[in-house]
Chains A and B, each alone.
Chain A
Amino acid sequence: MIPLSARMLSTNRLAAIAVNTFRESVRQKFFLLLSLAALALGIIAWWLRECSSGTLQTKFVLDAGFGALTFFGAVVAIVATAESFSGEIERKTVMAVLAKPVGRSEFVLGKLGGILGLLLVFCAAITGFLMVLILWQQMAAGSLPAGASAEVGHRAFVALMACGLVQWLRCSVLAALTLLVATYARSSLLAVTSGFAALVACSLRSLACDALRVTGPGWARGGADILGVLVPDFELYDVADRVASGGVLSPGYLAGITLYSALYVGLFAALAVYCFRHREL
Chain B
Amino acid sequence: MNAIELEQIGKVFVPGLSGTPFHALEAINLCIAEGEVVGLLGPNGSGKTTLFKIILGLLAPTAGICRIFGRPGNCPEVRCSVGYLPEAPEFYPYLTGVELVRFFAQLAGLAGAIREKRIAEAIARVGMERASARRVGTYSRGMKQRIGLAQALVTNPRLVILDEPTANLDPEGAADMGELIRGIRARGGTVLLSSHQLAQVEDLCTRVLFLNRGRLAGSGTADEFAQPDCENSFFVESLTEADQAELRVWLARRGARLRTGATPRGRLERAYQTAVRGGRPGEA
Residue A150 interfacial (CB < 8 Å): no
CB-based contact B76/A20 at 8 Å: no
CB-based contact A281/B58 at 8 Å: yes
Encode contact with B along A10-21: 1 for CB under 8 Å, 0 otherwise: 101100110010
Q: How far is the CA of A57 from the CA of B22 in the complex (A)?
A: 66
Q: How far is the CA of A98 from the CA of B57 in the complex (A)?
A: 8
Encode contact with A along B223-265: 1 for CB under 8 Å, 0 otherwise: 0000000000000000000000000000000000000000000
Q: How far is the CA of A102 from the CA of B148 in the complex (A)?
A: 17
CB-based nearest B residue for A91 = B90
CB-based nearest B residue for A103 = B76
CB-based contact A6/B75 at 8 Å: yes
CB-based contact A16/B76 at 8 Å: no
Q: Which of A210-231 contact B (CB under 8 A)?
A: none
Closest CB in chain A relative to B119 CB, distance in Å: 13
CB-based contact A3/B76 at 8 Å: yes
CB-based contact A93/B89 at 8 Å: yes
Count class of interface residues, chain B: 35 or more
CB-based contact B95/A101 at 8 Å: no
Closest CB in chain A relative to B250 CB, distance in Å: 54
Closest CB in chain B relative to A170 CB, distance in Å: 27
Encode contact with B along A57-98: 1 for CB under 8 Å, 0 otherwise: 000000000000000000000000000000000011101111
Given A3-B72, A102-B107, A96 and B94 contact (CB-CB distance below 8 Å): no
Interface residue total, chain A, C-beta cutoff 8 A: 28
CB-based contact A99/B58 at 8 Å: yes
CB-based contact B90/A101 at 8 Å: no
Closest CB in chain B relative to A80 CB, distance in Å: 12
**Total number of residue pairs linking A and B with CB closer than 8 Å:** 93
Closest CB in chain A relative to B50 CB, distance in Å: 10
CB-based contact A16/B107 at 8 Å: yes
Residues of A within 8 A of B109 (CB): 10, 12-13, 101
Which of B77-85, B174-182, B209-217, B267-275 is the contact stretch? B77-85
CB-based contact B75/A20 at 8 Å: no
Residues of A within 8 A of B86 (CB): 92-93, 95-96
CB-based contact B85/A101 at 8 Å: no
Residues of A within 8 A of B108 (CB): 100-101
Contacting A96 at CB < 8 Å: which of B13, B60, B76, B148?
B148
Closest CB in chain B relative to A275 CB, distance in Å: 15
Which of B40-48, B98-106, B188-196 is the contact stretch? B98-106
CB-based nearest A residue for B111 = A12
CB-based contact B94/A93 at 8 Å: no
Residue B132 interfacial (CB < 8 Å): no
Contacting B84 at CB < 8 Å: which of A10, A23, A24, A96?
A96
Residues of B within 8 A of A91 (CB): 89-91
CB-based contact B58/A24 at 8 Å: no
Closest CB in chain B relative to A235 CB, distance in Å: 36
Q: How far is the CA of A13 from the CA of B107 in the complex (A)?
A: 5
CB-based contact B94/A24 at 8 Å: yes
CB-based contact B76/A93 at 8 Å: no
Residue B87 interfacial (CB < 8 Å): yes
CB-based nearest B residue for A104 = B58
Residues of B within 8 A of A23 (CB): 94-95, 99
Residue A250 interfacial (CB < 8 Å): no
Residue A2 interfacial (CB < 8 Å): yes
Residue B151 interfacial (CB < 8 Å): yes
Residue B56 interfacial (CB < 8 Å): yes
User: Beyond the given A17-B107, A92-B87, A99-B79, could you list 13 further A-B residue pairs with CB under 8 A, ordered by the A residue number?
Assistant: A5-B75, A5-B76, A16-B106, A24-B94, A27-B94, A91-B89, A93-B89, A93-B92, A95-B86, A96-B84, A100-B79, A101-B77, A281-B53
